[in-house]
């Protein structure tokens, strides 16, 4: 029997808020349901980014997505970073906060990359304990995202989805499932991506990420610089079938196109959701509030 | 040491050794390679190399973004030399990439090769100042009326508080003139080390970062106010530059301009 869902109602379809689109978003107020911000980009005292953030926060729901929590590191948690994160959350009032199941720094040196962890009981315990500390500090459940990876360790005693489930269960956190990352890791580690989807516990999946990657034939790199590819769209359709109407967002971090091109990609996601879940599903049917004078 | 910590230490050692652009010490590579599983598809060396490349490329992109004009000045080969050297010399200890290149001007001033051309470090330092102005805290600015509304006998003992984006930049080269030429896609002037130059940077009401050159008396004046001098003290200082009847007028003109530019947050009594 499925466990009771722990997730919040769906926000619909969102995009990553990027500097290049600040002015467009404010001026045209496009029909995007919500935006995801990269937390670290706004951990500055003021200036243009903070101005646009506060203006856009008045018009759209926002979620905060971080890359520097380094939850799996064996260094102590960076409390200065956590304080800055909490302060930003107090100002932005995000719907939720997320980061990655990975490590980024050791001995105080930051790789600025989402480095993979060995999938062991020791790591599950370590990561879950630290997520618990972060959740207590922030006063809310956070979302943890599966990362793309290019290598695995001799020490691993379980596969990635078993590890992700175990961390989420032991930490009592939510999950951000990156569909593209599942595809990339499946190609690099030669497992069927559907196996991953079918094994992740549905009651904790709060958000989906979609993105493009670079395909080098023998391996795939998660570059976020291309459109979402057909195989990832197909995997997204399967994810909707398994997990239902999960808030969906497209990430683009390089080779960033005009905003209209991202809206067109989001329309593809909406269409897949419509055909998979039906017109009346809360993810798909989102009436605009209108004021009648 | 836990297995997890050992893996993380060996992984980071491998990334740093790879970024040092010298052949990765065999023991470092082997220590980490022994931890990596052999899988189908591509070999362990390529899997590890993907991370080593990503580390170097990501940090190089930060330098390129933060120091776009310096990159134009150096050209591709020298920029690559600078980026490789800095990345090897200065691993990031920051959670945000925004601070990664903070030590770049010092690196360029101390590196045996780049220090032969001090203008390169000056351009980097100027670009750091621009970034600091860009990200500084927003605060409401005062108008000249705030000073005018005070009784005349209160003026001498008033100090000024400046907007957080206000920065001073001093150098002994024509770094800013070079930066401006490149920004406007013009041929930069030849390096010139004749005389000190000073610039004032700030972010205006429109949130654009701006800068102007400062004459020596203007630099002295604003430095004094920034360090807490009051109007009377600064008026006296102006006597070093101007005749008595002109000193007060010059100071007033400067104050008026600073208010107009949005540099002043408040006029307050002496500490």
Task: Residue A110: list chain B partners with CB under 8 A.
Answer: 91-95
Kindly tell me if the per-residue pLDDT of A4 is higher than 80. no
pLDDT in the model for residue B35: 97
pLDDT in the model for residue B58: 97
Q: Using CB atoms, which residue from B3, B46, B207 is nearest to A155?
A: B3
Kindly tell me if the per-residue pLDDT of A1 is higher than 60. no
Give pLDDT tens digits for B24-60. 778 899 999 999 999 988 999 999 999 999 999 999 9
| Residue pair B242/B217 in contact by the 8 Å Cβ criterion | yes
Instruction: For chain A, list the domains and their CATH numbers.
Output: 13-277 (3.20.20.150)
Calculated CA dihedral for residues B77, B81, B83, B89, nearest 10 degrees: 180
Closest listed residue to residue A109, CA positions, set B42, B202, B81, B8: B8
Confidence band of A66 (pLDDT split at 50, 70, 90): very high
Collect all residues with Cβ–Cβ distance below 8 Å to A80 and sequence separation of at least 6.
none
**What would the mean pLDDT of A4-23 be, rounded to a whole number?**
90
Interface check for B137 against chain A (CB to CB < 8 A): the answer is yes
pLDDT in the model for residue B206: 87
Distance CA A144, CA A164 (A): 9
Distance CA A235, CA A165 (A): 19
For B133, nearest residue in chain A (alpha carbons): A47
Which stretches does DSSP call E strand in chain A? 13-16, 34-38, 62-65, 97-100, 103-106, 109-115, 143-145, 174-178, 205-210, 214-215, 220-221, 247-250
Beta bridge partners of A207: A176, A247
Q: Six-digit token pair at B261?
A: 């530019």
Alpha-carbon distances of A70 from A5, A82, A102, B95, B153, rounded to whole Å: 27, 11, 6, 9, 58
Token pair 């959670």 is found at: B95
Kindly tell me if the per-residue pLDDT of B7 is higher than 60. yes
The per-residue DSSP string of A172-234 comes to T-EEEEEHHHHHHHHHHHT--HHHHHHHS-GGGEEEEEE---EE-SS-EE--S-SPPPHHHHH
Across the interface, whether the CB atoms of A44 and B55 are under 8 A apart is answered: no
* B164: DSSP letter: T
Q: Using CB atoms, which residue from B12, B39, B138 is nearest to A107?
A: B12
Calculated CA dihedral for residues B102, B103, B104, B106, nearest 10 degrees: 140
Across the interface, whether the CB atoms of A190 and B16 are under 8 A apart is answered: no
Across the interface, whether the CB atoms of B136 and A40 are under 8 A apart is answered: no
Instruction: For chain B, list the domains and their CATH numbers.
Output: 3-116 (no CATH), 139-269 (3.90.930.50)
Closest listed residue to residue B165, CA positions, set B135, B199, B140, B141: B135
Give pLDDT tens digits for B55-97. 999 999 999 999 999 999 999 999 999 999 999 999 999 999 9
Interface check for A214 against chain B (CB to CB < 8 A): the answer is no
Neighbours of B22 (CB within 10 A): 9
Give pLDDT tens digits for A117-128. 999 999 999 999
Kindly tell me if the per-residue pLDDT of A292 is higher than 60. no
| Residue pair B162/B229 in contact by the 8 Å Cβ criterion | no
Residue B218's H or E segment, with its range, is helix B216-226
Across the interface, whether the CB atoms of B40 and A190 are under 8 A apart is answered: yes
Kindly tell me if the per-residue pLDDT of A291 is higher than 70. no
Q: What are phi and psi of B190, to 5 degrees?
A: -65, 150
Distance CA A86, CA A93 (A): 10
Q: Please, which residues 229-288 of chain A have a Cβ atom closer than 8 Å to chain B?
A: none
Task: Residue A106: list chain B partners with CB under 8 A.
Answer: 5, 8-9, 11-12
pTM of the model: 0.93
Interface check for B234 against chain A (CB to CB < 8 A): the answer is no
Task: Residue B34: list chain A partners with CB under 8 A.
Answer: 154
Is the sign of the CA dihedral A164, A169, A170, A174 positive or negative?
positive
For A113, nearest residue in chain B (alpha carbons): B55
Task: Residue B50: list chain A partners with CB under 8 A.
Answer: 150-151, 219, 221
Find which of B4, B32, B89 to mutate to test the A interface (most A CBs within 10 Å of its CB): B4
Across the interface, whether the CB atoms of A189 and B11 are under 8 A apart is answered: no
| Residue pair A49/A37 in contact by the 8 Å Cβ criterion | no
Give pLDDT tens digits for A279-288. 888 888 776 5
Size of interface A-B (CB pairs under 8 A): 135
Interface check for B15 against chain A (CB to CB < 8 A): the answer is yes
* Average predicted confidence (pLDDT) for chain B: 95
């Amino acid at each position: 029997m499925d466990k009771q869902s722990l997730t919040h109602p769906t926000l619909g379809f969102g995009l990553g808020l990027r500097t290049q689109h600040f002015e467009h978003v404010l001026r045209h107020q496009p029909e995007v349901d919500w935006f995801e911000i990269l937390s670290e980009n706004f951990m500055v005292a003021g200036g243009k980014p903070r101005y646009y953030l506060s203006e856009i926060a008045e018009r759209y729901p926002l979620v905060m997505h971080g890359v520097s929590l380094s939850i799996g590191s064996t260094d102590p948690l960076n409390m200065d970073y956590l304080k800055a994160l909490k302060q930003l959350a107090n100002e932005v009032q995000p719907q939720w906060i997320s980061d990655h199941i990975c490590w980024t720094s050791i001995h105080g040196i930051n790789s600025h990359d989402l480095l993979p962890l060995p999938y062991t009981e020791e790591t599950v315990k370590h990561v879950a304990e630290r997520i618990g500390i972060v959740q207590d500090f922030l006063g809310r459940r956070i979302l943890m995202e599966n990362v793309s990876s290019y290598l695995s360790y001799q020490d691993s005693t379980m596969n990635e989805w078993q590890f992700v489930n175990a961390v989420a269960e032991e930490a009592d956190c939510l999950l951000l499932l990156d569909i593209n990352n599942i595809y990339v890791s499946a190609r690099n580690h030669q497992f069927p991506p559907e196996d991953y989807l079918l094994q992740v516990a549905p009651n904790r999946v709060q958000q989906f990420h979609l993105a493009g990657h670079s395909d080098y034939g023998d391996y795939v790199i998660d570059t976020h610089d291309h459109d979402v590819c057909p195989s990832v769209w197909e995997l997204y359709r399967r994810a909707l079938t398994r997990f239902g109407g999960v808030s969906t967002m497209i990430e683009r971090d390089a080779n960033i196109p005009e905003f209209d091109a991202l809206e067109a990609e989001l329309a593809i996601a909406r269409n897949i959701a419509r055909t998979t879940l039906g017109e009346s599903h809360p993810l798909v049917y989102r009436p605009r509030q209108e004021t009648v004078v | 040491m836990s297995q997890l910590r050992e893996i993380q230490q060996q992984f980071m050692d491998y990334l740093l050794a790879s970024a040092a652009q010298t052949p990765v010490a065999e023991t470092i590579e082997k220590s980490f390679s022994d931890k990596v599983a052999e899988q189908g598809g591509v070999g362990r060396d390529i899997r590890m190399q993907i991370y080593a490349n990503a580390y170097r490329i990501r940090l190089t992109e930060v330098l390129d973004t933060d120091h776009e004009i310096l990159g134009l000045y150096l050209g591709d080969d020298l920029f690559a030399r600078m980026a490789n050297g800095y990345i090897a010399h200065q691993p990031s200890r920051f959670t945000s990439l925004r601070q990664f290149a903070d030590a770049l001007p010092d690196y360029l001033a101390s590196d045996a090769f780049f220090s032969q051309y001090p203008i390169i470090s000056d351009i980097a330092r100027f670009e750091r100042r621009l970034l600091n102005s860009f990200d500084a805290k927003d605060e409401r600015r005062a108008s000249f009326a705030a000073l005018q509304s005070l009784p005349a006998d209160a003026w001498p003992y008033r100090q000024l508080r400046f907007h957080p984006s206000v920065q001073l930049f001093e150098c002994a080269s024509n770094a800013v003139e070079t930066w401006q030429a490149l920004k406007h896609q013009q041929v930069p002037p030849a390096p010139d080390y004749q005389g000190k130059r000073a610039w004032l940077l700030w972010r205006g009401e429109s949130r654009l970062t701006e800068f102007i050159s400062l004459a020596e008396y203007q630099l002295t004046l604003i430095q004094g106010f920034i360090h807490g001098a009051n109007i009377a003290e600064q008026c006296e200082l102006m006597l070093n530059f101007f005749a008595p009847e002109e000193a007060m007028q010059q100071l007033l003109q400067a104050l008026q301009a600073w208010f107009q530019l949005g540099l002043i947050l408040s006029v307050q009594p002496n500490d």
